[in-house]
Chains A and B, each alone.
Chain A
Amino acid sequence: MAMPLETPISFTNVGRIKWWQRGIFASQTAYVLLALLGLLIAMHFASPYFFTQGNMQNVAKNFSFVAIATLGITFVIITGGIDLSVGSMMCFSAMITSMVMSGLSTPGMPGASLFVHLAADGKTVVANVPGLILLVSILAGLVTALLVGLVNGFCIAVLGLSPFVTTLGMLSIVRGLGYVVSNGRGSFPGGPDADFFYALTSGDLFGVPAPFIYLVILAVVMAIVLHHTSFGRHVFALGGNEKAAELTGIPVVRVKIEVYAICALAAGLQGIIVSGWLGSAPANMATSYELNVIAAAVIGGANLAGGVGGALGAIVGCVLLEVIRNGLVLAQVSSYWQQTLVGVIIILAVLVDRIRSRIA
């Protein structure tokens, strides 16, 4: 079937694009990363406390608390969608996890006899299998988030509703459900596995905060999935030209449902981790976090029009926001300025990218 070539093809009229004009170097992520490095250097001179181990740990922990959800929403944003229900999902999933955990740890509650029994003194609760309650309750939280994500995906991909409206509705539905199941009260992770839970969510390994470790692992997995699997390729194609994706036989509906499910799972996991740090899952937890998450993704280079974005960008966006917040605190600037500055940076980041693509 191969057709013979008379002469090998030459590229007399088509030059090779320079390395700094393609790939990661030509992306908004690269510019924001440069800005971040500049900021880190400036912070070092502005405050002697900035590059201390304690502060670095603090920064790493704080940005990890939004970065995992940002990784998830980046998938959705690359396909050209949006998910506003991230904050509510964080809260709901954390709430289910801690309610299941304390429920299963209370003798007398339905199902609890399978997991715990009372010690000889009649007061101390002992787990039948250490860690099992933790596993079941985290799975319960994640499955809840997954279900919400599947409903989002179904409404958007199958019913054809707009992502903005669907997830705006879901923001309210899930927050409302959170109040319904908790009756407005916060819930606390309790029982024999609670210490284990706190160690996994707000502990650290050799001085590195646990959430940061999860973040790095998930980011690496995400980068591989986006750039080295056909699913990732289809996610980008969907954001670039949905009609082309459809015509070339990409299972558009399935890919869309999958990205909303991934986003929901990431938000759920993020919520569970944050509740471990807070020590509880209050019903108003993570309110309006969806805006921080979207802002971080956009600053990091994800394009709300679709087709552009990545794991590194999501993290860079989160780090930049956290360094600014941290820097303003260290510089003893009123924390009210923080929000204003974040807004300015969102617009600046997008503006720089626009100017750059005009010049190129």
Chain B
Amino acid sequence: METAGAARLPVLELTGIGKEFGAIRALHGVDMQVFPGEVVGLMGDNGAGKSTLVKIIAGNFRPTLGEVRFDGNAVHFHRPIDARAVGIEVVYQDLALADNLTAAANVFLGRELKRKFGPFAFLDHNAMAARALELFGELRSETRPHDLVKQMSGGQRQAVAIARTRLSNARLVMMDEPTAAISVRQVEQVLSLIHRLKEQGVAVMLISHRMPDVFAVCDRVVVMRRGEKRADKPIRDTSPEEVTALITGAKEAA
């Protein structure tokens, strides 16, 4: 997979990304490339700069220094919607779901399907429920489109949040700790979803603390420490022990 990916152009290319919050330097000189159909694990301890990096790519923050290129073009995101417009989808750690709405309503939140009646546009409930059921089926999740999110298990919520990224033809999906709060069986489902995204040529960035998950699905692992990229190597050239050493700082760089 990596050789096929390397021959193509990177979908996401970061050059010299730096971010400062007042006197705090959260990121410094991060270079990174992500290729289509590649799964990249982003690892690091709390405060290593993972979230800041993800938020810059997702359009929540603007970088103080450096350049973000998407599909070969330099991009400047002002809001998360701008990032979504070019094909970057994020599954947030807190999932960004509205508890009082149904699963289908959450999947289609902000991009509802509508039917026109003269000058008025009404929600197409049936079409949205049918498409949502299809997406949940793809994720192998037993989730009913008409159920309220507040009555759902952690795995079902995760499925709703991931189903949302499947609505558009996303080029890059970033998942923030998607396996942190769900059951073992559901972890399998999420990982198999990542495989499916990969088969479609979608690039996936997996931000996770769970070493087994990263080693199960990722092609490449990037390790952050103290705001800098300390390692970026194919998963087959490294080991959980080495990654742990890089995260904790026992090993400076690789």
Contact = CB atoms under 8 A, between A and B. Distances in A.
Contact of A244 (B84, B109, B148): B109
Nearest to A238: B98
A121 B81 CA distance: 69
A307 to B, nearest CB: 4
Given A14-B143, A240-B98, A240-B99, A245 B137 contact: no
A52 B185 CA distance: 64
A223 to B, nearest CB: 12
Given A9-B137, A229-B121, A230-B121, A1 B96 contact: no
A9 B142 contact: yes
Interface in A220-258: 224, 227-230, 233-234, 236-237, 239-241, 243-250
A236 B140 contact: no
B112 A244 contact: no
Contact of B109 (A11, A14, A250): A250
A239 B105 CA distance: 14
A230 B128 CA distance: 12
A224 B109 CA distance: 18
Contact of A9 (B114, B122, B123, B140): B140
Chain A interface category by residue count:
35 or more
13 contacts: A13-B142, A14-B156, A16-B144, A229-B120, A229-B122, A237-B105, A239-B100, A240-B100, A244-B97, A244-B98, A244-B109, A245-B110, A249-B110
A308 interface: yes
Contacts, number: 96
Contacts of B151: 17
Contacts of B136: 9
Interface residues of B, number: 43
B29 interface: no
A263 B137 CA distance: 41
B172 to A, nearest CB: 16
Nearest to B96: A244
A310 to B, nearest CB: 12
B169 interface: yes
Interface string B105-130: 10001111010000011110100000
Contacts of B110: 234, 245, 248-250
